[in-house]
Amino acid sequence: MNLRLLSVVVALLAFVPGGAGAGQTERVVLVIIDGLRYSEGLGDPARTHVPEMGALAAQGALVEPFLNDGYTYTARAIPAIWCGAWTGVTDFSDPDCGGQSNSYAELPTVFEYFRKGLSRPADDCIYVLKNLCSWKASFDPSYGPDYWPLYHAEGVLDTDVWQEAQTVLATQSPSFLLLYLSGVDYAGHHLGWDAYLSAIETADGIVGSLWETLEADPDYAGKTTLIVTNDHGRHTTDFTGHGDGCAGCRTIQLLAIGPDIEAGLVSTVPRSIPDVTPTIGALLEFPTPLASGSAMEELFRDPTGVGDDTAPGTEWLRLVLAPNPTRNATEARFLLPRRARVSSSVHDLAGRRLATLLDGEMEAGEHVITWNGRDAEGGSLAAGVYFLSVTTPGKTVTRKIVLLP
């Protein structure tokens, strides 16, 4: 997307009532806790080892089940979180690390989508991790090194990484920060059960302090969404290893908290690793065209705010599009609180109505309509950004939809 078109998108999004991405999130912090098995994390109803994340879950949203649906080891799962897809990775001799062998993601990453999509400098996009030669983002010709994040690789322990993250937050205030914590996986492999649990408690404490820090910082308070996830779990029957398709390896965490996230929601729509980056794209309003996942819009609060049920003349209405982005068809699923006249249409960026999907009386309950990516004459539309709206008397809900080539 060229800059001129992007500015048109941004300008229009500002006027789309209730559109996904028309919310209050201006900044995102993503935390990846390596190899935390869900049974010792938020999957434990008592939250014995994760009291801080348990408290945040009550103010935010959890997805159950959230799955690693690909490779349950770090070298493939972390690039999949970055790319919103199970990307291939390629080895190369990395000049940043004295020519030693390193790997890069073949598909563009969230860093590249963010920086290019929003025209942001490197210091607005920071990746904090322990001191190692970090795997690199992509060399995709449309993205690539010009849009990589600033890597801050400091220290050994998770507490060192957290120390560095605090410095970064205080001095550079990036709009997108990724914090990678490796201590839980290391302890699980090498240090025994007690050390594994203690590493979980350390990571949990860091997440709690991180949210407190964000909420106390005027650059972040009230406009930041925090997402905490894992690359993989651990074997159901052996916490010292992981890497296969057992439930323990596949089941991971997705905790989101922020101004656009429904509070106290436990969403049972099954989701997986490729959905993280499209969700960040929807929150910050940048496209993620090569991602295979889709934005978890079911976690979003109605962007028009509170009290829809009580405001006179309005209808409570929940609209979820999936898949989104899509190559051909998408399903629009919505919940109607009572019998009403309902219409649904698709518009382009200029506000032109391209297709009417629905216009008539409908019963209360859940309805699904399909849009096949075509206009009213049945012609295929060009790849790009469109808007699908559902209107009842007194309320219109609009979602952005990305049509892929």
> Which C-beta is closer to Zn ion: that of 81 or that of 168?
81
> Which C-beta is closer to Zn ion: that of 63 or that of 249?
249
Query: Checking phi first, is residue 206 left (phi over 0); if not, alpha (psi -120 to 50) or beta?
Result: alpha
Cα 7 from chain centroid? Answer: 23
> Which C-beta is closer to Zn ion: that of 187 or that of 320?
187
Residue 13 CB coordination number (10 Å): 18
- Interface with Zn ion includes 250 (CB under 5 A)? no
Query: Checking phi first, is residue 227 left (phi over 0); if not, alpha (psi -120 to 50) or beta?
Result: beta
Nearest distance from C-beta of residue 101 to Zn ion, angstroms: 19
- Interface with Zn ion includes 249 (CB under 5 A)? yes
Nearest distance from C-beta of residue 103 to Zn ion, angstroms: 16
112-120, 232-240, 269-277, 333-341 -> range binding Zn ion (CB under 5 A): 232-240
> Which C-beta is closer to Zn ion: that of 187 or that of 355?
187
CA-to-CA dists, residue 219 to 65, 89, 168, 173, 389, angstroms: 33, 35, 13, 7, 33
> Which C-beta is closer to Zn ion: that of 245 or that of 305?
245
Nearest distance from C-beta of residue 156 to Zn ion, angstroms: 16
Nearest distance from C-beta of residue 183 to Zn ion, angstroms: 11
Using the rule CB under 5 A, which residue among 235, 271, 399, 400 binds Zn ion? 235
Report the alpha-carbon distance of residue 393 to residue 317 in Å, rounded.
Answer: 11
Could you give the string, one character per residue 184-223, with x where binding to Zn ion holds by CB under 5 A and - elsewhere? -x--------------------------------------
Could you give the string, one character per residue 87-126, with x where binding to Zn ion holds by CB under 5 A and - elsewhere? ----------------------------------------
Q: Which residues pair with 318 in a beta bridge?
A: 335
The structure tokens 């410095």 sit at 167
Report the alpha-carbon distance of residue 118 to residue 402 in Å, rounded.
Answer: 16
Peptide bond between residue 289 and the one before it cis (omega within 30 degrees of 0): no
34-42, 211-219, 287-295, 323-331 -> range binding Zn ion (CB under 5 A): 34-42
Write phi, then psi, for 171 (nearest 5 degrees): -105, -30
> Which C-beta is closer to Zn ion: that of 77 or that of 321?
77
What is the rounded (10 degree) CA torsion for 372, 374, 376, 379?
-140
> Which C-beta is closer to Zn ion: that of 244 or that of 359?
244
- Interface with Zn ion includes 40 (CB under 5 A)? no
Residue 212 CB coordination number (10 Å): 11
Q: Are 24 and 225 in contact (CB under 8 A)?
A: no
Strands 330-336 and 365-371 turn out to be antiparallel
Tell me how many residues contact Zn ion (CB under 5 A): 6
> Which C-beta is closer to Zn ion: that of 83 or that of 249?
249
Residue 224 in tokens: 């930041």
> Which C-beta is closer to Zn ion: that of 187 or that of 254?
187
Report the alpha-carbon distance of residue 76 to residue 64 in Å, rounded.
Answer: 22
Residue 109 in tokens: 């990453």
- Interface with Zn ion includes 244 (CB under 5 A)? yes
114-122, 200-208, 242-250, 327-335 -> range binding Zn ion (CB under 5 A): 242-250
- Interface with Zn ion includes 246 (CB under 5 A)? yes
- Interface with Zn ion includes 238 (CB under 5 A)? no
Residues that bind Zn ion (CB under 5 A): 35, 185, 235, 244, 246, 249
